[in-house]
Amino acid sequence: MEKITRIGIAGTGLIGKGLALEIEKQADIQLSKVLTRRDIQTMDDYPFQEVLTNSVVEFIGNCDLIVECSGDVIYGTEVIDIAIKASKPVVTMNAELQVTTGSYFARRGFITEAEGDQPGCLASLHENVVQMGFKPLVYGNIKGFLNLDPKKEDMEYWSKRNGVRLDMTTSFTDGTKVQIEQVLVANGLGAGIAVDGLLAPNSDDLNNTGVELAEEATRLGYPICEFVLAPKAPPGVFITAEHDSQQKDALKYFKMGEGPYYTILQNFHLCHLEIMKTIRRVISGGGVLLNNGENPTVSVAAIAKRTLQPGELIKKGIGSFQVRGEAVKIATNQNHVPIGLLVNAVMKRQVNEGEIVTFDDVELPESLALSAWHEIVIKETVNI
């Protein structure tokens, strides 16, 4: 008789709920527990009331594998810490957490990002193209719209219209989310970034833009992670790569162009529907798809959207109207505060619009996430 794997989900939002619905259809895996901080008595809209729990201990104790998709860096870090200590494998769809504390856990146990969001899809595409002999130079994320400082009333409108939290809507719009995603890919796949903040070219033709970015990667001497602003392109990911020149004629025949750079596009990412692939990968012993690596080289700094004043509270940096996230090289920005740590943070001194928030500028509450970051940076500094 085939073993039934008990799956636990931390999070009851769009991703967590959607995944729960898919798991319930499977014969060989079971939805065991769902961890929530909400009042369970008020969750009449949740389809599986019997598996809900507010207890992290009960949650971890009744699962063989957990999927963390709470969207919360501080809380998610605490949950994963307990899971790792219990030797439970962890699958995340939480790039924000990965780029903040993921490396701390990568040194201690099994943690992987799932397919479905752009980082996991890029990691899967990477495996595919490498098996075909390609050598990736550009890991590309496609974005249709960008506004570095959107108005709150506009974000409230789109949040309500799309049924997505206000902070998530804002982080998608101001570029924080895509910067986070590409930092995770860079750290996880051994790539880098061309410049702090990324190049972010506009693109009417992904093939042409891919070539331009590949030329930059060749000049730099290492693969780069980027995103393109391409309103007419599909909401997917792409890799621009080179191949053995002996395959040039065949690749031309396969409609891949003249070379030497070739762009391979995946024109979709289906979020929670694709997490199932990663769950089965882990169960079958397929190993880590993607995580932030043990020794990250890039991070996501907080950039002030306006002048921040002493005494000002930043309740949550990601998706706020005070700061936005920007990819930076750790070696040259060792004192930056990762935007994922800006939770209930109080400004100690003025930071002007466009400046990076540093640890000297802000008072942060004690948390495991903060301690984990300090450990990561200390080890990274030693490696540098």
Q: Quote the CA–CA distance of 75 and 68 in Å, as a whole number.
A: 10
What pLDDT, on the 0 to 100 scale, is given for residue 1? 45
298-383 matches 5-116+272-283 in CATH topology: no
- Mean residue pLDDT of the chain comes to 96
Q: Quote the CA–CA distance of 187 and 185 in Å, as a whole number.
A: 6
- The answer to whether residue 383 scores a pLDDT higher than 60 is no
As a whole number, mean pLDDT of residues 11-39 equals 96
Inter-residue contact 66 to 60 (CB < 8 Å): yes
Name 68's Cβ contacts closer than 8 Å, sequence gap at least 6.
10, 11, 76, 79, 80, 83, 90, 91, 92, 93, 94, 97
Q: Token pair of 155, please?
A: 């974000």
C-alpha pair distances (Å), 197 with each of 114, 207, 249, 303, 320 = 25, 22, 37, 10, 18
Q: Token pair of 227, please?
A: 């995103």
Residue type, 304: A
Q: Quote the CA–CA distance of 177 and 378 in Å, as a whole number.
A: 26
Superfamily assignment of 5-116+272-283 in CATH? NAD(P)-binding Rossmann-like Domain (3.40.50.720)
As a whole number, mean pLDDT of residues 116-129 equals 98
In DSSP terms, which residues pair with 10 in a beta bridge? Answer: 35, 68
Work out whether strand 362-363 and strand 343-347 pair parallel, antiparallel, or are unpaired: antiparallel
HEC-encoded secondary structure of 282-350: HHCCCCCCCCCCCCCCEEEEEEECCCECCCCEEEECCCCCCEEEEEEEHHHCCCECEHHHCEEEEECCC
Q: Could you read off the pLDDT of 189-216 as tens digits, one per residue? A: 999 999 999 999 999 999 999 999 999 9
Burial of 151 (0-12, 13-18, 19+ CB in 10 A): exposed
| pLDDT confidence band for 319 (50 / 70 / 90) | very high
| pLDDT confidence band for 140 (50 / 70 / 90) | very high
- Helices 272-283 & 14-23, crossing angle to 10 degrees? 60
As a whole number, mean pLDDT of residues 162-187 equals 97
Q: Token pair of 122, please?
A: 């890029």
Fold of 298-383: Type Iii Antifreeze Protein Isoform Hplc 12 (3.90.1210)
- Helices 118-131 & 176-189, crossing angle to 10 degrees? 40
As a whole number, mean pLDDT of residues 225-236 equals 95
As a whole number, mean pLDDT of residues 134-140 equals 98
Domain ranges across the chain: 5-116+272-283, 118-266, 298-383
What b/e readout covers 164-173, taking b as 16+ CB neighbours within 10 angstroms?
eebbbbbbbb
Task: For the full predicted model, state whether its pTM sits above 0.95.
Answer: yes
Q: Quote the CA–CA distance of 361 and 378 in Å, as a whole number.
A: 20
C-alpha pair distances (Å), 384 with each of 330, 332, 334 = 10, 10, 11
Alpha carbon 153 to its chain centroid, in Å, reads 26
Q: Quote the CA–CA distance of 185 and 189 in Å, as a whole number.
A: 6
Name 259's Cβ contacts closer than 8 Å, sequence gap at least 6.
242, 243, 245, 248, 251, 252
As a whole number, mean pLDDT of residues 105-123 equals 98
